[in-house]
A and B are shown apart, each in its own frame.
Chain A
């Protein structure tokens, strides 16, 4: 689960990470008051609160929002209301949001912090080691951190932190030297890294990114942006974080799926909807669909314990996606009762009305009975005998229906 920048900053500041003064605003008028609250003379930053990186380089779909990106520097107090009006309610599109973009419902008004240098700091889990890992990188204006990680991985300093104690003094010194920070920054850097680490551990985070952090003239370290992701499996320990979930950030189908304990993923292109019971099988199905000349538009992982009602709910989630032109159901389980699965498929198909080809492949017990149920339903349902066969049949059926 992710939270917004301003929420992450609030948490981090409680752990000793320095942040610029800021206040959240839902309306242009609130933005004006927030601006006066954080700084009398400015300049100010107006920052769209959507959960996406690269907001600065993004652009708004609506014309009224003007040419600026999702993060705007405002010098004159009288411009604040007008700029806030442009941003609020508009749709911000970034490299990470995809073409649909995300609607800006609130903006964070922040006092502009003047810094001499910027760097990236991240805390992630390196899962192979596995270890809590601190990542630091000097920022290059031309390349973002993900591009650097891909093209110049040697430019990122990676330090494994002790799970119980965090960064050692020598590690902090290593970071200072790596970033060419003055000696007087050591103390500020230590507080900064300690704050990130403690927030990470206390809140069961899976990732914290400060991108960028700034270094002031006096050598202080300021978090100019902040991103925190949390372990969904540990949210029970953090009801305060669970409350921050912003449902506007998730697809309607994602939320619906989550209610059944399913995982729904949506892709920008593609025409095939898949219902599977595992990530590995989802990935394999997607690979095969691509190899047959089509693409996956969405998949639903129904995980373990599929029963009649659950599968029916799952099918409805996929069937009501207008992009879907063919559906693949591929479910494997030793104890899966295929007959119940078949009943669920027929129930959902009859209720929603099946107007695209549906191919079903299952392994489990009562397979023959299940085939009879599907056959007798007189619906356009095709039964396949293995993975390859299921995708062959589906792709053929979809292409024929064009």
Chain B
């Protein structure tokens, strides 16, 4: 088991003929991902890397039964691509594009409301279940199948978290990069819930970041869960002086003061184990899985 994607996920690629898509889809296919269709408007009918290409998502879904999309379309085209994916009732959309305008994302959130489509990203390394399915650009070569779920707002720290899991001689059930744009689709709550329901996952590594109160919201949710799995959390950004130009002043105005320390405090109070240094994650994992060693 795993969450969001597995070997049975039928993947459709929106914007399959781009350079970045070609490179990564080739790797995903070699990894075993069940890529059933590509969509590039105007290129329907061709076969690209042995994958049939369609003009529209709906058509691709009708023909192939695809149920998830990995989106390699440019930032400007993301909104219309999401609309198509939602109309075709895909259950998951993973959006790799960097630089999606914020207003487009707010509109996308409205489009997603009332649909059953989960949207991960934008600006995410993707979602990957080791040995089964890879939607995105995450380096599959460092992953090992295992029992630790990973959810992270930071792309590069996702990498660091996986290295820590490997260092503890464990592996990953599913790795999810949420992306750290101002407005994102999926936040921490869905992964927390799904990992808890997933039999294979025994612990969750949770990587937060300064800006936005996503960690606080996740902590409140975690505290309210009747059944919980151990979470090892980390939040980057202790050193940034409060109110420094790096932050978005709107966060402070909209939510009050939010520091990395406040986030960690909220996570600890909710019952998560919080480490101060990212390189301590492996030690906490070792404690968790070999308490008597």
Contact = CB atoms under 8 A, between A and B. Distances in A.
B23 to A, nearest CB: 8
Interface stretch (B34-42, B60-68, B135-143): B135-143
A257 to B, nearest CB: 14
A284 B159 contact: no
Nearest to B142: A334
Contact of B139 (A164, A267, A334): A334
A279 B109 contact: no
A280 B180 contact: yes
Interface stretch (B51-59, B84-92, B196-204, B234-242): B234-242
A334 B256 CA distance: 37
Contact of B214 (A128, A153, A233, A288): A128
Contact of B102 (A233, A236, A279, A388): A233
A353 to B, nearest CB: 29
A335 B137 CA distance: 9
B190 interface: no
B254 A158 contact: yes
Nearest to A304: B98
Interface in A163-221: 163-164, 201, 204, 206-207
Interface string B148-166: 0000111111011001000
A207 B244 CA distance: 16
B250 A125 contact: yes
A286 B142 contact: no
Contacts of B238: 283, 287, 290
A276 B156 contact: yes
A158 B109 CA distance: 20
A105 interface: no
Given A149-B256, A277-B156, A280-B236, A334 B107 contact: no
B182 interface: yes
Contact of B99 (A233, A265, A290): A233
Interface string B175-206: 00000101110010000000000000000000
Interface in B105-126: 105-107, 109-110
B124 to A, nearest CB: 12
B252 A149 contact: yes
Given A149-B257, A277-B156, A283 B102 contact: no
A133 interface: yes
Interface of B: 75-76, 98-107, 109-110, 137-142, 152-157, 159-160, 163, 180, 182-184, 187, 207, 209-214, 217, 236-240, 242-246, 248-257, 260, 277-279
Interface of A: 96, 122, 124-128, 130-133, 135, 145-146, 149-150, 153, 156, 158, 163-164, 201, 204, 206-207, 231, 233-234, 236-237, 265, 267, 276-281, 283-284, 286-291, 295-296, 303-304, 332-335, 363, 365, 386-388
26 contacts: A96-B245, A122-B253, A125-B102, A125-B106, A125-B183, A127-B251, A128-B187, A128-B217, A130-B105, A131-B106, A135-B254, A149-B256, A150-B242, A156-B253, A163-B106, A207-B249, A231-B103, A233-B100, A236-B76, A279-B180, A281-B160, A286-B237, A296-B239, A334-B137, A334-B141, A387-B278
